[in-house]
Amino acid sequence: SRYGFGVDYFLAAKSLFPRWKKNVRKQDGLRLGFQYINAEDGDLLRDGWYTQASYRFSFGKLVGNRYFRSIEPLVRYGVLNVDVRDDAPSFRQPSLPGTWDRQALTIGALLEVTGDIFMKFEYVMNNEDSGGADVNNDEMLIQLLLTF
């Protein structure tokens, strides 16, 4: 069984900074998000959540009156707890990453190069309770999105 919920909130920059109305675009502003899930697969019990905040700033058209239109820095923190039923044997094994508790802190940004080209940058600092193994597996993600 699995259940969860999510909440998203957007506060437009026009509401935060009314004097700057002519300098902001419709999607500029503060975004807040939260998600939670609880799952039960046989004797394996999991629950997790994350919360995220970001703010999109627009620059107009900086380079050649076309490029680097906006940036949206973000920060996210999430937790995954893995457990077993009370009557089941201990399940946490250093050799089985699916049994580890995890925490992750992410910092990143979404850069609008043009209206059709976006770049996403994320660095994830992972921390796992593996039951014995020392794991160093931080992640760097760079994505390019082309729309046409």
CA distance 54 to 76: 9
Dmax (CA) for the chain in angstroms is: 66
pLDDT in tens, 31-41: 999 999 999 98
Residue type present at position 63 = V
The torsion angles phi and psi of 143, rounded to 5 degrees, stand at -125, 150
Nearest CA-CA partner of 140 in 120, 126, 123: 123
pLDDT in tens, 63-87: 666 788 889 999 999 999 988 766 6
User: pLDDT under 70 in the chain at which residues?
Assistant: 20-23, 60-65, 85-95
Mean pLDDT of the chain: 87
Q: Tokens at residue 60, please?
A: 């107009």
Residue 88: what pLDDT?
Answer: 56
What's the whole-model pTM score?
0.83
Nearest CA-CA partner of 28 in 47, 7, 13: 13
- Residues comprising the chain, all counted: 148
